[in-house]
Amino acid sequence: MYYQIPFDFGAVMQGAPLPACDLVESIAQHVQLLVTTKCNENRFDRKYGNSVWDQDFERGLSDADWEDKFKTSLLSALENYEPRIFNINIVVKAEMVEKTWPLKKYTEIKKKVTVLINAQLVESSEKFSFKTELYISPMAVV
């Protein structure tokens, strides 16, 4: 049995059971956590997470270099912290997108990062697929 995250410890303290999920959902939740956690953020394991967040606002990196660092860091994190998958293939694509807020009279420009992961489950060799989109590097143009 696997548990959904985030845990609602308040409900557990009142006697409610923790909501469960299946293996694929558990892996997907853990992958999302690895994607969004910065290294040194977990006080019990400083290596847990993704080191690309150290380069989030570096101007010297091209998008291709940033994507490569993200992919390399995430692959390392998955190989070290997610033993339930193997044969991992990661695609990271960054692009600038803009959102205009007519009532606020400004345009917001953000980096949209799409992360696609294909792998296989250790337990059954079935295919595992994961996709997430992140919006980072906020910038407002007035």
Q: How many domains does the chain have?
A: 1
Show Cβ contacts of residue 14 under 8 Å, excluding neighbours closer than 6 positions: none
Percentage of the chain with pLDDT > 90? 42
Question: In which domain, by residue range, is 97 found?
Answer: 2-141
> Low-confidence residues of the chain, pLDDT below 70?
55-60, 138-142
pLDDT confidence of residue 35: 92
Q: DSSP code of 66?
A: H
Distances (CA, A) of 104 to 35, 61, 101: 32, 31, 5
pLDDT confidence of residue 130: 97
15 burial type by CB count under 10 A (0-12 exposed, 13-18 middle, 19+ buried): exposed
pLDDT confidence of residue 50: 86
CATH number, domain containing residue 12:
3.10.450.40
pLDDT confidence of residue 76: 94
pTM of the model: 0.82
